[in-house]
Amino acid sequence: MTSRIADSGVRARAGGSPAFAAVGTVSFLAFLILAVLVQDRRLVGIDRTVTLASQIADSTLMDLWGAIAAIVLSSELSLVFGVIGALLLWRSGLGGWALAPLAFLILVPLEIVLKATIHQAPVPPDFYHRVYYPLMTVTLDGSFPSGHAMRSAFFGTFLLVLLLSRGRLGWLTAVLVVLVTVLAAFSRIYLGYHWFSDVVGGLLLGVGLALLVAPRVAARLAAVERSCSSPVDHPRSLDWRSRSD
């Protein structure tokens, strides 16, 4: 019992580590620098080079993966995933912090404003891969940042932090989560929906927000688990047979 409580304390400290907040802050600062570079048209050459290179992967399999990633990381399904996560955390006793998986919604207005104000022309239609996408599509003047990359990074980082803080993150799981997150983001370049800088911007936003929110959720989960596993003091029973008059 004591070792389990101590282990919960270690996980709580890991979940609340200032290192996560520091990296999240750096991610936001890096995003601001990237946004300035995009606005000044400093990354046009890199964007075109990466887009051209992505076409090497042209295949039916990549088209299928791109379609799956586009649907799974859509705004509609991301909202569903967020609600499911919130319900699970609420049942775990997190109260208001159970809404943390829905934090990515905070970035949606920012994404729309940035796409409307930062001069980043969409990828030319020559690179466009038409794939099956039955959900709603909103077309804006700009393409920076990528909303799909942002949601991919948010959910992937959120999951990594929770698994790490609870001592359930093996290297294979970490590699798998990172690989799926990166491939989902890369698919936006391959499909011709976004430039490289759009995707990097979305990744930075998603990682930054997740690192500011998920560690606090992890710490509170550990605290709830610790309180539930704490021994309850019961009043010492009286032995009436040994009590003297």
Q: Which of 5, 3, 6, 17 is nearest to 164 (CA)?
A: 17
Q: Out of 23-37, 43-57, 107-121, 169-183, which region has the weakest mean confidence (pLDDT)?
A: 169-183
Mean pLDDT, rounded, of the chain: 86
Give residue 237's pLDDT. 40
Give residue 43's pLDDT. 97
Average pLDDT over residues 2-8: 40
pLDDT in tens, 70-121: 999 999 999 999 999 999 999 998 989 999 999 999 999 999 999 999 989 9
* Whether pLDDT at 193 is above 90: yes
Residues in contact with 34: Cβ distance below 8 Å, sequence separation at least 6, in sequence order? 197, 200, 201, 204
Q: Where are the domains of the chain?
A: 2-229
Alpha-carbon gap, residue 44 to 37, rounded angstroms: 10
Q: Which of 212, 197, 195, 188 is nearest to 72 (CA)?
A: 188
Phi, psi of 55 (to 5 degrees): -75, -10
Cis peptide, bond prior to residue 145, ω within 30 of zero: yes
Give residue 6's pLDDT. 39
CATH class given for the domain over 2-229: mainly alpha
pLDDT in tens, 196-236: 999 999 999 999 999 999 999 999 998 888 887 665 444 44
Give residue 18's pLDDT. 86
* Whether pLDDT at 33 is above 60: yes
